Structure 1
């Protein structure tokens, strides 16, 4: 609980700046919503210049051991530790959910688990909760669609097997001209490609997973889905990468979701290294290249000796140059894809998903043709996916590109 002296201090500060007024309102919400205070660590501090409002975890307030212990708690345990005000708010939110379910059954998910209630407790406005409900409804529809496809596939396989058995009993000769390639055969083929990539030391692609503190639960869920899309695309490209996920938080939300999927897998056939170490501890700094859309330096062609880094970041709510700032602070090279040279951008940010990035890099690595590689950019983001005459592709080194891999927008070597 906040003391009277602290409240009086912020009351004085609200008379000077608008920022302090926002802090006072946030303080009031934190005082009433204890569950929200448990989810998002906040620190309010004053200085000679003014007052700054800092969101996220605060290392000065709580030590590292207490944070890790809090992260290890499950959603059910966190709900059980709510105080009286938090339980009252949870009861009101459940009543609101029941009313919405009666009025608009399609606007809310059918089942609400403890993780969902914990997420809803962090939403202070009705519209924020409604958007979160609609997101879960879409996820439910996708899950039901996948289950329905699996059911139909199982029924189809049973019918086919029954027909084959019946034809064998009747001594009928079926179509044996083309051999049947099963999914198990294709999986073994893809796994062999990943094993050969590791054996022959194919180019390494690093995923920087050090952005979990900047993402919401919904964005972390999208990142988890994109990771598995990337892993599947890496098996199917012509020359797979050696995937390495660095700076992975072992007790974070991403790993919790990853373990739920991985418990049904055979790790002997999983070819992606997951490590808590940073890429600076694993690879020499002069070989690292951070791919960020905010860089002025353009990647002209793919160098297999370089180690390219992709930021594991999904920023739906706000777009900030986090990867650019991090790479600049660490003093490593940065580059962006030549999107403006081949595509006429229409809407949206130039940040691509993980699976789109690995498809583009895989095509450039094999063919060196940016025109073919950038076909994996979603067409909804561009006016004309392939406009202009691009006969002189950057896959063949030009005289300017021979001076250096990374050229700025004025075609000057850097």
Structure 2
């Protein structure tokens, strides 16, 4: 695109042009030089957000306890400079460089560019207005007030919402079982992204059945795992009736007052503990991921929610999780970690930064630092192996 020598009648139009051009091409823009003479601006310049380099005093800070922010600048030279012409009161494109030294951002990733993370006041007001209307429409009703007829309609609405999600997602999966009154008793669903994540990260699965937030007290079962960013990923959801089945079992065999049965029920969260001994569980032995998931659910789900509201809220939570994963992917592809100060292992730090995801890189970096603290004092060659003796610096 050759725009050098072109005129526009205002500097704002040039800024709007470069902003649209940047989004179209896949990079972020920011303002750079602003020349002023007697309070008048005769020249403006906009550059790629990856122009320049981070100041050296902020690159290597060995005594800095907090993890440094990712490095976003790569010395990119792409820019647009315009000057004001006094003779015709127009703005002239004086310089324009379109060559970048980095990968362009894809369309789905444009939302993560810093200058695109702005919500207009009008859009924010509209969202707040809609949220207020929806909150006013919700009423606190008990299960008895809803009645069997409304309960069935609510369940049909929840299943209809899942069917709508299935219609726009070719690999979306939903399955439900009905009770004796033809009402949904057990429901399981997983969207396409969840199924793809399961193929990639389903080596370890956590089942969390501790969350129960809906009008009918149906426990929510969450199938989750850990993805390549060491973040929680969801493989599927299920609304089941474990509590009812357990109560029916106790009533059938008249075990309601049996002390041993009640003790086992209170220990139900530890039933699978024996199967975890000695198994690789990708750091999921703690309840950290489950607690984080419950924290996210509480932001969008309330105890009084009907099934339709409940399922809709879960979809919002899942969308938020996918958004975080895409943002982590963006950070991995378009930034670099702040590498340790130069030493004999600098080449390994650089290779790991380009190969691993960001969270995995920091774990590998720590292991490299630990290994760098040792040296080989002697070694012994044997027929099929070698024994190394190491010492600590």
TM above 0.5: no
Between structure 1 and structure 2, the one with the greater Rg is: 2
For normalisation by structure 1, the TM-score amounts to 0.22
For normalisation by structure 2, the TM-score amounts to 0.22
